[in-house]
Chains A and B, each alone.
Chain A
Amino acid sequence: MLIFSVFKTLTDQQVTVELKNDLSITGVLKSVDQFLNIRLDAIKVLDETRHPHMMAVKNCFIRGSVVRYVQLPAEHVDTQLLEDATRREAANQGKR
């Protein structure tokens, strides 16, 4: 739930999603769910000449499992808080 929680705070921010097939899509994060499926708006594919079939696509839904990386806007991530949240979750996991 931690990562989901993080992505929730990043809605309406610009992110770059890199898929396992090396396709990189930059767009505005519209929504995310607990499987980390991602919906992007106003997308732009990094190497458009290599993926001409993506030129007409303006928004997309990405299945979480095909994601390799998501580049996040660092200024919208509170790393201190993130570490705390991770510790809390780890501690909670340990208790169970």
Chain B
Amino acid sequence: MSFFGFGQGSLEQEKKKFLEGGLQESEDLAVYTWGEDSYDGLGDALLEGGDELNDETFGATGPVGKDFDFANQPLPESVGIAKSKTQYRSEPQRAHTPQHESGEYAPRHGEPSFNAAHSSLESIWDDKSPFSLLPRVNGGTRAGDQHRPSSASRSPFLSQPIISHGVNQTGVRTLQEIEAEMHAITQQARRQQEHELLRQQQIQLQQQEQLRLNQEEQMHLEQRERLRLQQDLRLQQQQPQRTPPPRMAPHTQSPRFHQHQQQILLLQQEQERQQQERLKELQERLRMEEIERQLRAQQISQMQRPPSLQGRRQSSYADLQAPQRRTHSPAYNDPQYPLMSQQNAQYLPQSIQLQQRLLSEMAQVEFMRDMQGISQAEQEALRLEAMRKIMETERMEEKRRRKAAKIAHMSRYNDLMTQSDKDFITRIQVSQLVTQDPYAEDFYAQVYGAILRSRMGLQQQDERVLKFGASGGVGLGLAQKGGGRRQSAMQKMESQVERIVSNARLREKEKGMHSVHSLQGALGKTSGRSYKAAPRQLLQVDASGASPTLTPAHLHISKEDAVRDNGEGAAREAAKLGREALGNAAATDGVIRKDPLTQRQILVTLESLYDLVLNVEQLRRDQPPEEEANFFATWSRSYNELVEQVWNGLQVMVPLETSDPHPFVSLLTPVKGKKILPRLSRHITPARMLTLLTLLVACFSQLDVVKDARLLEVLDDHPERDEVERQTQAFLGSVLQSILPVVAKAELRLISGLLGLFLDRNDIVTVAQTRPGIAMLTLFLSRVEIIKQGMSGIPETSELPTAEEAQQWQLMFDHLFQLLTPHFPVLFPSSRLSSQTLIGTPLPATDIIDQPVWQFLAALALHASPDQQSTLVSGLRDKVLENVTSANKGWVADEDSRQTKLANVNLFLHALGLDSSQIAV
């Protein structure tokens, strides 16, 4: 930050440039780079000593004698600096102002008036009035005596080196203070200044005492005028020096911005000029008033006073003015507030006005005091009081200026966007955030909320549940249970958003389905070239020649797969059709065997099935009422089409022997395959479901849960075991659940057939040792039991099984019983487990996993003939006894497991008409 405005070197350059007339461009740069490139290092070369004479120099040691040496008497620092700075700063200013503004500036600040000031300067110098203080700056150097301006027409440029030289020489103290100011805290600096000012005031008073001379009114005015002029210059030169905000660095701005800047500058200058004129007027009036007053005073005093009084009065008035100017000059030049003072240059005139008014008041006070002949001490006190007031005003002003600067700093981006711009962006943001189709964008939360509500059996009472799904859109509906006003604001916002969204929808529809592209570029455009400059395709190979079927998306599918699919697709299609014609139970001749589906094929098929199911379910939700025949017809057509696709996707109709495992069984392998079945079965006709069940029964031993069931009997916690457990749970929970309704409606004949098929196609002993197998068998037995109960209970039922059917069932049951008889004990997982493990190792709680087996045996017992029952009991005697004994003897972990054990045994015994309590241990 430049204190001096310019380094010595740059000033010379400026001059040269000015003379060459090519100043404009580099002018700003020279200012901003001061202290870096063009800094001449003079500050470092300063003599820092010699402070011990300061007191003497500044007059603190008492009145200075008549032999007061003006050549060595520096001005009070701040004033001196300000003035000298003003002096030589004004040079580049004047050099470029003509380019900046119209002629109205030039006449006022051009050479004539300046020269006038200079010419008067000489006379002031001679008569040594207190008002010649300022001119003395120019000549107030040791060298100044030799270089004293001899001609009024001397060019101001020529005096430059002398002036700055003088400042550097005599201003040792001043520079020191600059250093201090640069680094010290603001407060400290200001206090120092205040102190300094007071001291200067004292000096001046002393000077006044000595130099009180008769003053001509003209002289007075001229002096004032010159001061004003200097102030003016200062104001104006500060403007181009403004530190621009980062964005506004002059060279980065458009020409239009420059124009604008200049216009502002002109305006400001114009304003200032008017202000000055008004001030001048004011001063004129003030002066007239004073003259009047003086006249009156003279009349009053009636020649009682010596003639010098008037001069003294005037000088004291001027004296008040001078420090007044000095008080604000430090603020202008204070390196810590440059931005502020510059930014607020336009406010200055007002403060000047204020101060002027204060001054006039002071003058009046002074006058009155003179009238009453108040003592010097009292005058001093009053003066101090006045100073204090002035300082206070100054401080207030500074505060205000700082505030204004802050506002100006913050407001530089004001009005960059218009209100409609902002609205536009808000609309885009909101329309991307909010949707009217919660099922599409917020599916999970919406459905989860609905499920939860239905599960809890409530309508809309529960705020907590409703909260995340309360209203249409994402992000909305999250309204807390706030007050009513907030609520209504929320509603307003929602309706507004709704409108915005629906409008956006309409527009989108008009544009077609290019929803993504519709927003492209909405927030601004990148240059059109960027997307056209995408890399050009260098190689252009005719793709049609290579392979007609393999699109890039399918390239990763192995060739083997592709060939096989292509080659056998048609054959399989034919086989399927033939199979369909023959029915599921048809002979398996002529079926082309294939490899089972790969894991990947299974997953791909399942995912496409899920897509279908989701579509079907969505369609189901959109089902139109049947009255609207047209809509309903269209709807049911597409619905049936989808269901047909689902059915085909399941591959139930693929010939039984096509592969092992059958494709349908393969599809049931992953958990999601098992889980999709209940969702599909809702849409599939019962006849087809029966086919599905038949296929499942026929291929039961191919199921992963049956094949891997042995893994469940591994004792240690193994990941694979966990996986099988998960699969088994999924199978029992999903697959069996979805075939349960089919079995529940099946007739006896059908059950007999299914059981027959089951026994025929599967190794029943193995299957019966699995949980799914036991469950399946139990399912059949229970259904038959229910049918039997129906037979005995309601004889008139139309669908009574015939005797022949009953006999067939009995045959099947006998066959099953016979097959299982030697293996009754090993049906229990606990038995199998204990046979594996060493004796003594504690078994895990097996009662729970044994329970389905007890259940099955109970069902078996119900159907069994007395002979079969005794076989059953003898086969299971050990198992029953073991359970009852351990329960009664307390060989159990806790009461719960004891109860379970007994319950299990009783389940079976009750079917036989017995109870565990009857067993004597």
Contacts and interface: CB of A to CB of B under 8 A. Distances in A.
A and B touching (Cβ–Cβ under 8 A): yes
Interface of A: 1-2, 4-6, 8-9, 11-12, 31, 33-34, 78, 80-85, 87-89, 91-92, 96
Given A5-B443, A5-B445, 10 more contacts: A4-B474, A5-B442, A5-B446, A9-B444, A11-B468, A12-B464, A34-B475, A81-B447, A84-B443, A87-B607
Contacts of B614: 84, 87-88, 91
In terms of DSSP, what is the predominant structure of the interface of chain A?
A: helix
Contact of B444 (A2, A11, A91, A92): A2
A82 B448 CA distance: 9
A83 B448 CA distance: 12
B451 A78 contact: yes
17 contacts: A1-B474, A4-B474, A5-B442, A5-B443, A5-B474, A6-B445, A8-B442, A9-B444, A11-B467, A34-B474, A78-B451, A81-B444, A81-B447, A81-B448, A85-B447, A88-B443, A91-B614
B817 interface: no
B515 A9 contact: no
Interface string B445-469: 1111101000000000000100111
A1 B74 CA distance: 77
Contacts of B515: 96
A12 B515 CA distance: 36
A3 to B, nearest CB: 9
Contacts of A91: 611, 614
Nearest to B675: A80
Contacts of A1: 441-442, 474
B440 A88 contact: yes
A4 B433 CA distance: 12
A85 B610 CA distance: 11
Contact of A31 (B433, B447, B464, B478): B478
A8 B440 contact: no
B516 interface: yes
A85 to B, nearest CB: 4
Interface in B609-636: 610-611, 614
In terms of DSSP, what is the predominant structure of the interface of chain B?
A: helix
A34 B475 CA distance: 8
Contacts of A81: 444, 447-448, 451
A91 B90 CA distance: 74
A23 to B, nearest CB: 27
Interface magnitude class on chain B: 20 to 34
A40 B442 CA distance: 22
B325 interface: no
B402 interface: no
B128 interface: no
Contacts of B675: 80
B672 interface: yes
A5 B475 CA distance: 9
Interface in B725-761: none
A9 B440 contact: no
Which 8 residue pairs of A and B lie closest in terms of their CB atoms, listed nearest first? A8-B468, A85-B444, A5-B444, A5-B445, A85-B443, A8-B445, A9-B448, A5-B442
B433 A34 contact: yes
A70 B134 CA distance: 77
Interface centre among A80, A83, A84 (most CB of B within 10 A): A84
A29 to B, nearest CB: 11
Nearest to A30: B480
A71 B478 CA distance: 23
Contact of B448 (A4, A31, A78): A78
Contacts of A33: 475
B476 to A, nearest CB: 11
A83 B447 CA distance: 12
Interface in B468-526: 468-469, 474-475, 478, 515-516
Contacts of B475: 33-34
Interface centre among B444, B446, B468, B475 (most CB of A within 10 A): B444
Contacts of B467: 11
Contacts of B474: 1, 4-5, 34
Contacts of B611: 87, 91
Given A1-B474, A88-B614, A9 B443 contact: no
Interface centre among A11, A81, A85 (most CB of B within 10 A): A85
A12 B466 CA distance: 12
Nearest to B442: A5
B444 A82 contact: yes
A80 B676 CA distance: 10
Contacts of A11: 467-468
A12 B465 CA distance: 10
A84 B442 CA distance: 12
Nearest to B449: A9
A4 B444 CA distance: 9
Nearest to A96: B516
Contact of A83 (B433, B516, B672): B672
Contacts of A89: 443
Contacts of A92: 440
A33 B475 CA distance: 8
A9 B449 CA distance: 8
Nearest to A33: B475
A89 B614 CA distance: 11
A41 to B, nearest CB: 13
B95 to A, nearest CB: 56
A9 B451 contact: no
Contacts of B433: 34
Interface string B430-443: 00010000001111
B429 to A, nearest CB: 11
Interface centre among A1, A34, A92 (most CB of B within 10 A): A1
Contacts of A4: 474
Contacts of B444: 2, 5-6, 9, 81-82, 85
Contacts of A84: 443, 610, 614
A13 to B, nearest CB: 10
A15 B614 CA distance: 30
A84 B607 CA distance: 10
B468 A87 contact: no
Contacts of B451: 78, 81
Contacts of A31: 478
Contacts of B516: 96
B731 to A, nearest CB: 15
A22 B470 CA distance: 36
B430 to A, nearest CB: 13
Given A78-B451, A81-B451, A83-B672, A9 B468 contact: yes
Nearest to B672: A83
A71 B675 CA distance: 25
Nearest to A4: B474
Contacts of A96: 515-516
A8 B464 CA distance: 11
Contacts of A9: 444-445, 448-449, 468
Nearest to A94: B611
A8 B468 CA distance: 6
Nearest to A82: B444
A78 B455 CA distance: 13
Nearest to B734: A80
B766 to A, nearest CB: 32
Contacts of B446: 5
A33 B468 CA distance: 12
Interface centre among A8, A11, A84 (most CB of B within 10 A): A8
A52 B433 CA distance: 39
Nearest to B515: A96
Interface string B252-285: 0000000000000000000000000000000000
Contacts of A34: 433, 474-475
Nearest to A83: B672
A89 B445 CA distance: 13
A9 B464 CA distance: 10
A1 to B, nearest CB: 5
A4 B440 CA distance: 13
A90 B447 CA distance: 17
A75 to B, nearest CB: 12
